[in-house]
Amino acid sequence: MQIASSPYGVTADGRNVTCYTMTNSNGMQARFLDYGCVLTHLILPDRSGKPTDVVLGYDTLADYEADPAYMGALVGRYANRIKDSAFTLNGREIRLAPNDGANHLHGVLSKRVFHGTVGNDCLRLTYTSPDGEDGLPGTVRITVRYSLDDNNVLTMGYEAVSDADTVLNLTNHSYFNLAGHRSGRIDGQLLQIAADTFLETADDTCPTGQILPAEGAMDFRRLRPIGGEPTCEQMEMVGGYDHCYVLRPDTAPAALAYCPQTGIALTVATTQPGLQLYTGNYLEDVPRPGKGGARYVQRSGFALETQHYPCAPNYPQFPSAVLQAGQTFRETTYYQLHILNQLK
């Protein structure tokens, strides 16, 4: 793997931003910013040899600064939602800033500039989140490691240490379209998720605390078209899929996606307990055009966000998202892209 760097622009408040380009021996390329750890491009030859960029994004830093959809970004300190922007930790009520109705969504890391260093086999991005950022306790030192190998595996590794008990949930918020980022809706692409259950969702997109069997329209245990048009009550409440699936432990891959048109397949493996499937239900509301002037429409990309459960601090029956002082948070996700002449 080779890593090159180049200036990408200057933020509105005067901070320089760098783009890092990773290229492997197969001609696959991944580009990252130190602004929000954003994955801007993920390019590989399709079945016919045509270079295909399979993630949605923008052309300029100003677009990413104004982006309401978290395209390609690291999200946290608590990815996904915390209902009513509040929870109790060690007997103390923690109040967060509501930014999704009454709820707290994703946090501010997608708008922070990280410090980038290039090693022999990875890009290392670091940031110290001060005590009280996002309303959360603890000064948290965060490290994100990105690497791309010659098997077309893009690895995203997360580490963090806090000086006080806190909660933490980190993930990448890329939108994939395996036919190419500007090819339109993803309805005909296929998806499989290694999950027998999912978190029931209320109409504010927060979990209710109940875990339901993945049946009917919610069942991705076998490879099938993603679709996305609401066909059941759970989908109707959120305009498509925006649900956390409970991954089977020690099952690999956690997810498989495939585009019959291009032959591009994506497999996902992770150490995280959940996977949020989001089908870009509101992408038509994004005010700015995407890369190359592309207009992203509703369901023109899908996100496979490996993470701890949304609202976990409010539901003791969910796996704990508490990071105790001095302990190290470690999670890793692997996205592998490959070409299939036909799906077996």
Report the alpha-carbon distance of residue 88 to residue 256 in Å, rounded: 36
Residue 159 sits at the vertex; the CA angle it makes with 107 and 84, to the nearest 5 degrees, is 25
Length of the chain counted residue by residue: 344
**DSSP-assigned states of every residue in 44-89:** EE-TTS-EEE-B---SSHHHHHH-SS-TT-EE-SB-SEEGGGEEEE
Instruction: Identify whether 93 is a catalytic site residue.
Output: no
Q: Name, in order, each residue with C-beta under 8 angstroms of 126's C-beta and a sequence gap of 6 or more.
A: 114, 115, 117, 141, 142, 143, 144
Instruction: Identify whether 173 is a catalytic site residue.
Output: yes
Cα four-point dihedral sign 63, 67, 71, 73: positive
- Which residue of the set 173, 181, 243, 308 is catalytic? 173
- Which residue of the set 104, 181, 243, 305 is catalytic? 305
Torsions phi, psi for 69 (to 5 deg) = -105, 5
Q: Name, in order, each residue with C-beta under 8 angstroms of 301's C-beta and a sequence gap of 6 or more.
A: 55, 56, 175, 176, 177, 181, 186, 280, 283
Closest of 4, 70, 13 to residue 40, by C-alpha: 70
What amino acid positions are annotated as catalytic residues?
Answer: 173, 305
